[in-house]
Chains A and B, each alone.
Chain A
Amino acid sequence: MSNLRDKYCIVGIGETPVGKVDGITNLGFNLLAAKLAIEDAGLTNKDIDGVLTTHPYGDPPFMYSIQIAEKLGIQPTYTTDLNLGGATPVALVEHAVMGIEAGLASTVVVSFGEALRSKIKHHGKFRMGREDFGNPYGEVVGITYAMAARRHMHQYGTTNEQFGHIAVAMRKHACLNPNAQEREPITIADYHASPWICEPFRRLDICLISNGGGAVVVTSAERARNMKKKPVYISAFAEQHTHKNFYNMPDMTTWGAKRAAEKLYKNAGVGPKDVDVAEFYDCFTYTVLVQIEDYGFCPKGEGGRFVENGNIELGGELPVNTHGGLLSQAHIDGMLHITEGVKQLRGECGPRQVKDAEVCLVTGNGGSAGATHSSLMLRR
């Protein structure tokens, strides 16, 4: 795949207002984000021939991407929705590249939106497919991450306080982001005072529930030359999915991220030391810790020590989730990890800009305890 290195790029991004935003539907957030991304690229709906999306979690409909396409006034030659949980947005960018490379489309919009906070009545009902052997015992997906985190603590001596440093860093970054749901600074003391939800997770270890949408436009580097914004190049992408049911994972402290990382670095021609900023999917604090290790920023088991002392904050060795992430900006399924990566590489991040950011790692992660994993290496 290394022959695709930097051959495709992101030329437009869209980010709706997020958080406690009312008056916009599931569909509405998706469409608004797509519109913003198309306009950011300086394009119109007539320039788009590929539409990739994923359904809202609370209300999954039939043939959703066709509905999105129709409402955007697009008759696509390439469209589908993908269902990989939080690994979906990053994987969709990869699918956009593949579709263009294969000649199915020339310019693809990738979008996601959901009004999960709104108490709007839906037609649909979400199900995880774990009704027979999980739910009867009170399982939800978050608890699977808590149990994996417990293994990390057991195997490597990782502490709650170290998880707390991740929560504090994400909040610090969200405070610098005008489009963030939670903008009250927190301290380690606040973390310790936060109530247990599913041990070892406190409320502050767990991502937000948000309204909002995000989108990007992907096209070839050749086409990008004449476009409004400077392109952000997709140097490489990788996916590694490992399981649906987490309980038989050989080791709950090493995820598909590890194998994805090997492919990603090889195909991008860079290593951990070249990464200026990382947007790690952060459904839970522990999710960030595992990926820091699996992507080789420190040896396995040392993630707890790595996240101490401001190391993952702006100005630290590896700034992580400069927008505040799912933990403090908003949970838009990781779509905003991609838009934030693009903004960092364009130098559009204002007070939270990583100086001279050239290389950005973006990941997605879904299902029970890291079931699905996808990643992108972006560069300017």
Chain B
Amino acid sequence: MAAGDYTKPLPIPDEDTQPYFEACKRGELTLQRCDACKTLRFEPDNICPKCLSDRFTWERLSGNGTVYTFSVVHHAYYPGFKSELPYVIAVVELAEGPRMLTNIIDCKPELVKIGMPVKVTFKKCTEEITLPYFVPA
């Protein structure tokens, strides 16, 4: 795909989220673990919402999880999704605990079920942005 062809919404990494998106480029799913209370959190931020500590360590995750809930979307809320209708948007519960939003790809929408095991995969959107997606495990 030529640069500039990507038409879906893109994140704008900032000081808090840059390490997360940099890790995605390396094919790694990473989150912050609080140094004080050891809680793993999503989304990335400078403060732990459990104990308010500002000390944390980035940790590489297994990339395994299960589908907590999902929706098969038939309407192109964003023009960039038009060619992929219907697409599956899902909340994945990571093996390490936190949940995140993603798309389930390489799977027929009618086969997606709550509780289905999934694993992370990465897709390069642009030179700057690579995003994590999930496929059936």
Residues of A that sit less than 8 Å from B by CB: 131-140, 143, 146-148, 150-151, 154, 195-201, 245, 247-248, 252
Contact = CB atoms under 8 A, between A and B. Distances in A.
Contacts of A197: 73-75
Given A131-B12, A198-B74, 20 more contacts: A132-B17, A133-B101, A135-B78, A137-B102, A137-B131, A138-B8, A138-B87, A139-B89, A143-B89, A150-B114, A151-B114, A195-B74, A197-B74, A197-B75, A199-B71, A199-B73, A201-B71, A245-B43, A247-B42, A247-B99
Given A132-B11, A133-B43, A147-B70, A139 B114 contact: no
A154 to B, nearest CB: 5
A151 B91 CA distance: 11
A199 B101 contact: no
Given A138-B77, A143-B71, A143-B89, A133 B10 contact: no
Interface in B96-125: 98-103, 114, 125
B87 A150 contact: no
A198 B75 contact: yes
Nearest to B113: A154
A139 B77 CA distance: 8
B123 to A, nearest CB: 11
7 nearest CB pairs, A to B = A132-B11, A135-B9, A146-B71, A199-B72, A247-B99, A147-B69, A247-B91
Contacts of B77: 138, 140, 143
Given A132-B17, A132-B43, A143 B91 contact: no
Contact of B131 (A136, A195, A245): A136
A128 to B, nearest CB: 11
B13 to A, nearest CB: 8
A35 to B, nearest CB: 36
Contacts of A200: 71
Interface string B53-88: 000000000000000111111110110010000110
A164 to B, nearest CB: 17
Contacts of A132: 11-13, 17, 43
Given A143-B89, A247-B101, A136 B74 contact: no
A104 B91 CA distance: 45
Interface string B10-49: 1111000100000000000000000000000011000000
Contacts of A199: 71-74
10 contacts: A133-B101, A134-B101, A136-B125, A138-B87, A143-B77, A147-B70, A147-B71, A197-B75, A199-B71, A199-B72
A131 B129 CA distance: 13
A150 B11 contact: no
B101 A198 contact: no
A246 to B, nearest CB: 8
A166 B125 CA distance: 41
B81 A131 contact: no
A133 B24 CA distance: 13
B99 A248 contact: yes
A159 to B, nearest CB: 16
A306 B89 CA distance: 30
B69 A150 contact: yes
Contacts of A140: 77
B70 A131 contact: no
Contacts of B102: 137
A247 B97 CA distance: 12
B103 A248 contact: no
Contact of B71 (A198, A245, A247, A248): A198
Nearest to B92: A247
A137 B70 CA distance: 12
